[in-house]
Structure 1
Amino acid sequence: MPGMKWIALESNPEVMNFWANKVGLDPFDSQFCDVYGLDQELLAMVPQPVKAIVLLFPWPGPWKEYLIREDEKIKAEGQPPIDPNVVWVKQTIGNACGTMAVIHALANCGATLKPDSPFAEFATKCKGVSGEERIRLLEANTAFAEAHAQAAVAGQSVNPGFDHPPHAYTAFVQAPAVPTGDGETHGKRLIELNGGRDGPIDRGASSDLLQDVVAYVKDNLLPLGDSVEYSMIALTAVQ
């Protein structure tokens, strides 16, 4: 729906768990938790296995320029084929990038969903339909909108209301590698899912989701700004 806008979501695992649990994530299977830093001793504190990562980063500044250049390169040169089962939805709702990251995480990580829940129904309907149809499914989803409205005011910081916050979100998951015709393909790929981009982005081979995301952030994003401007939240198995 053109012009639709939500209140920005706080980068807070409690807020994300509130939204996810309300729309159908099984809280006894998986929950979001903080990643307190990029040093190995802090990463070791994150419960395993890690199923998805939500990254908050500054916006716009040099980050926007970096993403534009990358989108242009992908358009010109292409990228490795991405598993067709990966669910990506273009963001058309203003300030919804936090919720979009949570949606992309839940839809692609294999977390257990409550049967007949709003998210289970949404994920099922997204399979095998066009990108435009996925947009319509999201824009018409009143359960998601209501959960977002409640979650957006449940955080600890001062909410910016409908103003655009100075940051953006993206999600990372693993997906099976796609055979290219040169032989049998094994292993997993690191896939970035950002509703503000042109589609899913392949970030290379992946054997450890958390470590691979941290490596990508250190190598590509931290040179653009100070590390304190980032926050990372992991969707992990409940211990």
Structure 2
Amino acid sequence: MSETRRKYYIPLESNPEVFTELIHTLGLSPELEFTDVLSLDDPDLINMMPRPVLALILAFPAIGQHYRKSLEEQNRDMNIYTGSGEDEDVIWYKQTIGNACGLYAILHSISNGPARDFITPDSPFARVLATITPLAPEERALALEASAEVEEAHLHAGKSGVTTAPDPEDDVDHHYMAFVKSHRNGRIYHLDGMRRGPVDTGVTLAQGEDVFNEGGRKLVEELIALQDDVGFSLMALVKTGD
């Protein structure tokens, strides 16, 4: 997490309204929105969740020693991902923009699974996705850095939270990652731009299941249990129901 960055963005507030505004600015259909997940184990609250859940974004304290150790160990055991093109099981973005982990979690959420069907043609994100899909991870990262449309949309979202926006190069103590469904094999992937590539969790979704099924909730619970701090928040990408 100490990698030198070529540029920095204002960190996104962990706020469904901020995340929803950003995906709409990028060109996702107004039929999609982010909402808070209130429980992973209370049956009544789980049943109240809008379904299907297209992706989950977890925000957690990134400064904990357990997190740092886990990230270092898992990266050491992973091969560096080199995938590209339409045959990828998931679209993965290497994080090269400082304090932009919220953006990467959003991009992972809307680049994969059923959310792809809600990208408005010729929108900013449709153009970004068309540009980056054929590229290997390093070139993909550079192309994302070069997108003025993404940078402008993120700048506006970064300033639109309830709390005062920090400086782009300030140290932040939270990190975002996403759980998404592959649009090719139906499995749940853990996508984090700080890792060396996408992580296939091995959880396969049956016909009609979404990432908030029992297997998906268990993945989030297991990740939370590995950390040494509190302050987690979880958001779900869902249809608005309008």
Same-fold call, TM cutoff 0.5: yes
C-alpha deviation, 1:43, in angstroms: 2.2
- In structure 2, the CA distance between the partners of 1:177 and 1:26, relative to structure 1 (3 Å rule), is closer
1:149 to 128, 135, 155: 155
- In structure 2, the CA distance between the partners of 1:21 and 1:221, relative to structure 1 (3 Å rule), is same
- In structure 2, the CA distance between the partners of 1:2 and 1:166, relative to structure 1 (3 Å rule), is closer
2:231 to 211, 218, 229: 229
Q: Secondary structure at the match of 1:235?
A: strand
RMSD (CA atoms): 2.0
Counterpart check, 1:166 vs 2:166: no
Where in structure 2 are the equivalents of 1:89-104 lying within 5 Å? 89-104=93-108
**Take 1:9 and 1:220, find their aligned partners in 2: how far apart are those partners?**
21
1:197 to 195, 202, 207: 195
C-alpha deviation, 1:176, in angstroms: 5.6
1:121-180, Cα deviation, whole Å (9 max, x unpaired): 1112222221122112101111111111110111112333221210100011111676xx
Counterpart check, 1:105 vs 2:109: yes
The code of the aligned residue for 2:177 comes to: T
C-alpha deviation, 1:114, in angstroms: 1.2
C-alpha deviation, 1:223, in angstroms: 4.1
Query: For residue 69 of structure 1, what is the aligned residue in structure 2?
Result: 73
Q: Stretches of 4+ moved more than 4 A in 1?
A: none
Query: For residue 182 of structure 1, what is the aligned residue in structure 2?
Result: none
C-alpha deviation, 1:2, in angstroms: 4.9
The code of the aligned residue for 2:88 comes to: P
1:83-123, Cα deviation, whole Å (9 max, x unpaired): 61411111111000001100111111332111100101111
Where in structure 2 are the equivalents of 1:36-55 lying within 5 Å? 36-40=38-42, 41-55=44-58
Query: For residue 137 of structure 1, what is the aligned residue in structure 2?
Result: 143
C-alpha deviation, 1:36, in angstroms: 1.4
- In structure 2, the CA distance between the partners of 1:176 and 1:113, relative to structure 1 (3 Å rule), is closer
Kept in 2, the 8 Å contact 1:85–1:127? The answer is: no
Range 55-64 or range 83-92, more displaced: 83-92
C-alpha deviation, 1:45, in angstroms: 1.9
The code of the aligned residue for 1:189 comes to: R
**Take 1:3 and 1:136, find their aligned partners in 2: how far apart are those partners?**
10
Gaps of 5+ in 2: 81-86
Kept in 2, the 8 Å contact 1:63–1:221? The answer is: no
Kept in 2, the 8 Å contact 1:34–1:232? The answer is: yes
C-alpha deviation, 1:75, in angstroms: 4.0
The code of the aligned residue for 2:123 comes to: S
Q: Secondary structure at the match of 1:110?
A: helix
Counterpart check, 1:9 vs 2:12: yes
Structure 1 length normalisation: TM-score? 0.86
**Take 1:8 and 1:20, find their aligned partners in 2: how far apart are those partners?**
16
